[in-house]
């Protein structure tokens, strides 16, 4: 299995505030959807709960066309159409058993879950958003440039729908 992280981060690694994103960037939503569709997505309970409301009224709505996997420490947390794991060990065992070597799974956030996985991931798909958010309460962990090499880069200038410049970078772990 190839384990990848996908995130959009601002100039000081800001990724969220009050359990919401810091921006509305349709170009990044499209990039996220196209990159992760058809692949398992792994997220923390808080990020899951930020994804809308399910028809039964509970917080959180599974992303379509993807195996939705949620990590939480809350043993009572269960949701329709979502696989829930209560420890990383349990999750890793399941992924190793159910996924082929070439298949890719994506860690999609948030801050706590990125921190748990950044030293385990093979690739980082980072949208660098050229903006600063001093009030952000959730950060992406520092990307150690001695451990990661850039394998692709795609700059997009701001426009009428996307109010910040973005740079879509894929990093691969050095030595992989």
Ligand X SMILES: NC(=O)c1ccc[n+]([C@@H]2O[C@H](COP(=O)([O-])OP(=O)(O)OC[C@H]3O[C@@H](n4cnc5c(N)ncnc54)[C@H](OP(=O)(O)O)[C@@H]3O)[C@@H](O)[C@H]2O)c1
Q: Which residues would be at the binding site for ligand X (CB under 6 A)?
A: 7-8, 15-17, 19-21, 43-47, 50, 71-74, 86-88, 108-113, 116, 138
Nearer to ligand X, 7 or 67 (CB): 7
Nearer to ligand X, 62 or 111 (CB): 111
Task: Please name the residue that has the structure tokens 């992280």.
Answer: 5
How many whole angstroms separate alpha carbon 55 and alpha carbon 85? 23
Q: C-beta of 148: minimal distance to ligand X in Å?
A: 17
Q: C-beta of 91: minimal distance to ligand X in Å?
A: 8
Q: C-beta of 9: minimal distance to ligand X in Å?
A: 6
What is the layout of strands, in order, in the sheet containing 123-129? 83-85, 68-71, 41-44, 104-109, 2-9, 123-129, 166-173, 148-156
Nearer to ligand X, 87 or 174 (CB): 87
How many whole angstroms separate alpha carbon 19 and alpha carbon 22? 9
Q: C-beta of 97: minimal distance to ligand X in Å?
A: 19
Nearer to ligand X, 46 or 79 (CB): 46
Residue 147 half-sphere exposure, CB side, CA atoms within 13 Å?
A: 10
Q: CB–CB of 106/42 below 8 Å?
A: yes
Q: C-beta of 113: minimal distance to ligand X in Å?
A: 4
How many whole angstroms separate alpha carbon 124 and alpha carbon 128? 12
Nearer to ligand X, 8 or 67 (CB): 8
């Amino acid at each position: 299995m190839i384990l990848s992280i996908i995130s959009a981060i601002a100039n000081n690694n800001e990724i969220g505030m009050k359990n919401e994103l810091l921006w509305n960037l349709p170009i990044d939503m499209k990039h996220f959807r196209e990159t992760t569709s058809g692949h398992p997505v792994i997220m923390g309970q808080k990020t899951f709960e930020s994804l809308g409301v399910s028809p039964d009224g509970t917080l959180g709505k599974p992303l379509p066309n993807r195996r939705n996997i949620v990590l939480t420490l809350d043993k009572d947390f269960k949701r329709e159409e979502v696989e829930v794991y209560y420890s990383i060990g349990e999750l890793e065992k399941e992924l190793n058993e159910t996924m082929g070597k070439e298949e890719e799974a994506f860690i999609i956030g948030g801050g706590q879950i990125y921190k748990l996985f950044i030293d385990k991931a093979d690739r980082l798909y980072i949208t660098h958003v050229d903006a600063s958010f001093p009030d952000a309460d959730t950060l992406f962990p520092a990307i150690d440039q001695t451990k990661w090499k850039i394998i692709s880069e795609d700059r997009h200038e701001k426009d009428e729908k996307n109010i910040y410049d973005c740079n879509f970078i894929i990093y691969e772990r050095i030595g992989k």
